Amino acid sequence: MASDNNRGILFILVGMTLFSGQDVLIRQLSDGGSLLQVLTIRGVLGTIFLTIFLKLTGRPVILSSAYPLLSAARIILFFFGFLAFYYALTVMNLAEVTALFFASPLFITLISKFFLKESVGLPRTMAVIIGFMGVLLIVKPTADTFNAIALLPIFTAFAYAVSMMVARYTKDKDSIWQQMMHLYFGGAIFGAIGSILMILFAVNEATMPTAGYIVREWNLTDSYIISIMICVAAIGCAGMLLLTYAYRLGAPSVIAPFEYSLLFLAAAWGYFLFDEVPDTLSMWGMILIVNSSLFIFFRENIRRRPVAIKTSLRT
């Protein structure tokens, strides 16, 4: 069991390193690429890579779902949630965006308590309150310092939390591989539809300059940009597979906290590549979010009532 946990931790750390590199590449593409193109290509290639992996490992390739409406809702939440996350990466500090995303265990706990009627005691309730105090320290909701873009990764955390609860509900009939295939295939479909709608309604960087990265026309001529997009797809797929195997090998209560290595990697990339240093309030906010989420993980393990630790925090 110890060796399985060690391998699970290793897979988590490698996966988080890949995801942090993917985030940097997606940010780098903001100067000349199209985010919808990135998500579409990632979805198409992710579907192809996952299909090849399933064939090589003797697993069935199943695109259908026993819960079509719930699966469609999960795809929509994932697509728009990470569309918001990746756009926020181009405007905010990498570490701040990542820290706000890690509020997802707080949302998962709230959803479990108020909508699923699961037992969440006072200690975890206080942890959620403290965690959201950390969110406020990063967002700084005052007239002088409020940045509406900071709401985007919070929306991502909420969308991710809801989608993970949906995945938890549907896992009795939809395998993890089906759920992963839904996200990739759905991402390709929604990315393509979004791009077509932008063309039909003449929405582009000229008409919406502040959202240029999202509405920009596809770049099909720059080999450098295309190669980076292919790398993003390959890295993202590899990261998802590593996290999937990590949770199949190790105990979630042991390996889940190591996903927070992503925050330290984001801070390092931000500092060395973009000269980003979060201010004091944001640093304290990150500390509160991480520690409250970790407390929830460890408390769930003690109480033997896993809610947040049943799912990976980044896919």
Q: DSSP secondary structure string, 63-115?
A: ---SSHHHHHHHHHHHHHHHHHHHHHHTTS-HHHHHHHHTTHHHHHHHHHHHT
What would the DSSP string read from start to end of 38-61? HHHHHHHHHHHHHHHHHHHTT---
pLDDT number for residue 308: 55
- What token pair was written down for 248? 């199949």
pLDDT number for residue 141: 86
List C-alpha distances in Å: 94 to 103, 150, 211, 310.
15, 12, 18, 26
pLDDT number for residue 5: 87
pLDDT number for residue 14: 96
pLDDT number for residue 311: 55
pLDDT number for residue 313: 58
| Residue 142, φ and ψ in degrees, nearest 5 | -120, 165
Weakly modelled stretches of the chain, pLDDT under 70: 1-2, 143, 301-315
pLDDT number for residue 315: 61
pLDDT number for residue 121: 83
Q: What is the pTM of this model?
A: 0.92
